[in-house]
Copies of this chain bind each other. A is one copy, B any other.
Amino acid sequence: MVGVRQFDEDEVIATALDVFWRKGLHDATMQDLAAATGVQRGSLYNAYGDKEAIFLRAFDQYAEQFLEAAGNALGRGDAAAGLKNFFEMIIVNMTDGAPPRGCLTTRTALDATISSAEVRQRVRDVLAGLEALVAKTISATPGRRSRADANRLARVIVTFTRGLAVMERAGYSRKQLKETAATFIDAVVGDR
């Protein structure tokens, strides 16, 4: 190694993640990334190849953080409490920032038609990961639910979180989202 890279890669990817999160893969330009990271466009091309390669790195970092946070939330308390924490964390995640950045996975999913197979697969991976985590928590609840039922219910719950992400983009506030999530939990989990 001789001509040495002038920037911190982790920092650049983290900053790129923020740009993609706010603008989306498609709408974020290399100029946006260059401006935000302070690294010239040409250097980014040299280091990563193209925009999508940068996105994939950033998204992988995001997915890892996200799934870890989801797992932690679900694990705090019993299954019911875990679900509540889970929704809390999901909603905070998507309403964070000024203005809120929304949910990166959902935004990316909606661009499916103009994304590469690789990007689409990343989205599916996150959703599958989420389903698995939720199913695990649900299964831990006392008896009378089959494995298949738990999986089905987990998919319902994950689907609902995607709905929250859409509602956020439509202008619903954090408070409204939390209320809606609470109603959902009551309706689905409350065995009254």
A residues near B (Cβ < 8 Å) are: 22-24, 26-27, 99, 102, 106-107, 109-110, 112-114, 120, 123-124, 127, 152-153, 155-156, 158-167, 169-171, 179-180, 183-184, 187-188, 191-192
- Given A162-B162, A163-B163; A112-B169 close (CB under 8 Å): yes
CB pair A167–B171 under 8 Å, yes or no, is no
Q: Which residue of B lies closest to A149 (CB)?
A: B183
Docked-complex contact A162 and B166, CB < 8 angstroms: yes
**Does B171 lie within 8 Å of A112, measured CB to CB?**
yes
Considering residues A27, A102, A156, which has the most beta carbons from chain B within 10 angstroms of its beta carbon?
A156
Q: How far is the CA of A155 from the CA of B184 in the complex (A)?
A: 9
Given known contacts A152-B179, A183-B156, A114 and B165 CB-to-CB distance under 8 angstroms = no
A124 to B158, CA, bound (A): 23
Determine the chain B residues whose CB is within 8 A of the CB of A23 once the complex forms. Answer: 113
Q: Please indicate the chain B residues that have their CB under 8 angstroms from the CB of A102 in the complex.
A: 110, 112
- Complex: how many Å from CA A165 to CA B170? 14
What would 21 A/B residue contacts be, using CB atoms closer than 8 Å?
A22-B113, A27-B113, A102-B110, A102-B112, A106-B110, A109-B166, A110-B166, A110-B169, A112-B169, A120-B170, A127-B170, A155-B180, A156-B187, A158-B163, A159-B160, A159-B163, A159-B166, A161-B163, A162-B166, A163-B164, A191-B192
